[in-house]
Amino acid sequence: MTREVKSDAVPSWPAVAALLAAGGSAVQMRMIDGALAAPDDEPPEGWRELRVALAGEMVTARRVPGGVQVVAWGNANLTQLRAWNALAWAFAKAGGGTVDGAEADEFAAGAEMPKA
């Protein structure tokens, strides 16, 4: 399943991670551009694909023209759905963008999000 995050510029990873942490969702890096990464590794500016863990669930972020795609498995459990939504929200919020056409906070108000 894919969520489209549209923004003029992809926000920095530290900005995205800080928003997630402030909301009680600690995020850990797992892979950067196909290479294994340590949990606290920071991707370079021009990263293409990140795989991160939130609440023990894996979610992928892919840089695309005009934003980021946030990807989760089609058979995701509730915890993974919440992680997927939280990551999409954080990219949109940090980048002043939208998630599937909705402003970040509007999206979060109607989405299944992690419990703080």
- Quick check: 109 and 96 in contact, CB under 8 A? no
Lookup: tokens for 79: 């915890």
Q: Is the pLDDT of residue 115 over 90?
A: no
Domain positions in the chain: 2-103
Q: Which of 74, 68, 36 is CA-nearest to residue 52?
A: 36
% of the chain surpassing 90 pLDDT: 90
Orientation of helix 13-22 relative to helix 78-95, angle to 10°: 120
pLDDT per residue as tens digits for the range 16-74:
999 999 999 999 999 999 999 999 999 999 999 999 999 889 999 999 999 999 999 88
pLDDT per residue as tens digits for the range 46-55:
999 999 999 8
β partners of residue 61: 50, 70
CB contact set of 100 (below 8 Å; sequence gap of 6+)? 3, 4, 88, 107
Cα–Cα distance for residue pair 30/1, rounded to 1 Å: 19
pLDDT score, position 70: 98
> DSSP 3-state assignment of 12?
coil
